[in-house]
Structure 1
């Protein structure tokens, strides 16, 4: 799968609230329950996911169906990448990696369903930017942002884009650097028992598939 430097910029939500949530990993019922607990209104509010909608949980199909909802947005995660690379583009190594890390749910589905899922996933951006009504700008990228300035994204090569969805280097080193050109960044991918802030970057993936609650942040 060839990655593209696709960044989606959402308009300011003047009607309701925006929320960002960690990796869903097929736990849609739990997500909706927690959203209900905080008073989420699908008519005015929006949810932005840091990627990895699918695998490891029982509701991967339902997670992909969220992409049809007008209130839901997501960036590309490494699990979506593996699905497309392995299933659509026939990369056998990445197909086996995906199947061995939660993708085996697809074996219980009809191949007739796959093209629509592939289309939804390939339209996902690698990055999302959104500004709240107070003028605070947020960036959402699945795993990491391998640059010191947000505006460099459109010039990223394949290696840098790959690191956006796979890298754990800054998380593992607990780097306190901040990314210039954006107020705050949100990442998933790297599991932390609690919300972890490093510089101006927040890691909000607690591992819902391990039995933990989602971290949902109001922007």
Structure 2
């Protein structure tokens, strides 16, 4: 699967709120119980995920079904990437990596479901950009932003797009750098104890698959 450095730019939500959640990893029921407590309204609010909808939890099919909802948006995560590479493109190395990291749920599905999932995953943007009603611009991308300026996103090369869904370097270094060209960047992928704020970047993956509550930011 070739990752396209595509950005989905959402219009300002004038009628409701925008919620951003960390990696869902197949825990849809728990997510919606938490959203219910925050007053999430599907008729006017939107939910944006930082990627990794699937694997490790019991509801990966339900997580993929969210892609059919008009109020739900997600960027590409490394787990979706592995799934497509393993099953659509026959990459044996990625298949082994995927199955040993939560992909075993696929054995309980029908093969006639797969093609639709593959198509949806290959259309996922690498990043989402959205502003709130106060004019604050948010960028959502799975692992890290690998270039010098947000405006370079749509010209990332293959190495950089891979870093955008896989890299842990900036997180491990606890780099305090600011990504120019965007007010706030929100990441998942790297598990931290609570929300981690570095520069103008926020990491919101607490490891829900370990039983922790999701981190959900309201923009």
Q: Could you tell me how far apart the structure 1 residues matched to 2:8 and 2:215 are?
A: 22
Q: Distance in 2 between matches of 1:112 and 1:76?
A: 22
List gaps (5 residues or longer) in structure 2.
none
Partner of 1:26: 26
Q: What SS class does the counterpart of residue 84 from structure 2 fall into?
A: helix
Report the Cα distance in structure 2 between the residues aligned to 1:159 and 1:127, rounded to whole angstroms.
16
CA displacement, residues 3-51 of structure 1 (integer Å, 9 cap, x when unaligned): 1111000000000000100000000001100110000000000010000
Is the contact made by 1:139 and 1:185 (CA closer than 8 Å) also made in structure 2? yes
Unaligned runs of 5+ in 1: none
Q: How does 1:43-82 map to 2 (within 5 A)?
A: 43-82=43-82
- TM-aligned CA deviation for residue 112 of structure 1: 0.8
* Structure 2 residue matching 1:148: 3-state secondary structure: coil
Counterpart-to-counterpart distance in 1, 2:173 and 2:109: 40
Cα distance in 2 for partners of 1:148, 1:47 equals: 28
1:4 maps to which residue?
A: 4
Q: What root-mean-square deviation, in Å, do the aligned CA atoms of Structure 1 and Structure 2 show?
A: 0.5
Q: Provide TM-score, normalisation by structure 2.
A: 0.99
Structure 2: distance between partners of 1:149 and 1:89: 32
Runs of 4+ with >6 A deviation: none
How far off is 1:70 after superposition?
Answer: 0.6
Query: CA-to-partner distance for each residue in 1:115-172, whole Å, 9 max, x for gaps?
Result: 0111111110000000111100000000000112100111100000000000000000
Which residue of structure 1 aligns with residue 163 of structure 2? 163
Give deviations 1:44-102, integer Å, cap 9, x for gaps.
00010000000000000000000001110000000000001111011110011101100
Matches of 1:121 and 1:161, distance apart in 2: 15
Q: Is the 8 A contact 1:148 1:178 kept in 2?
A: no
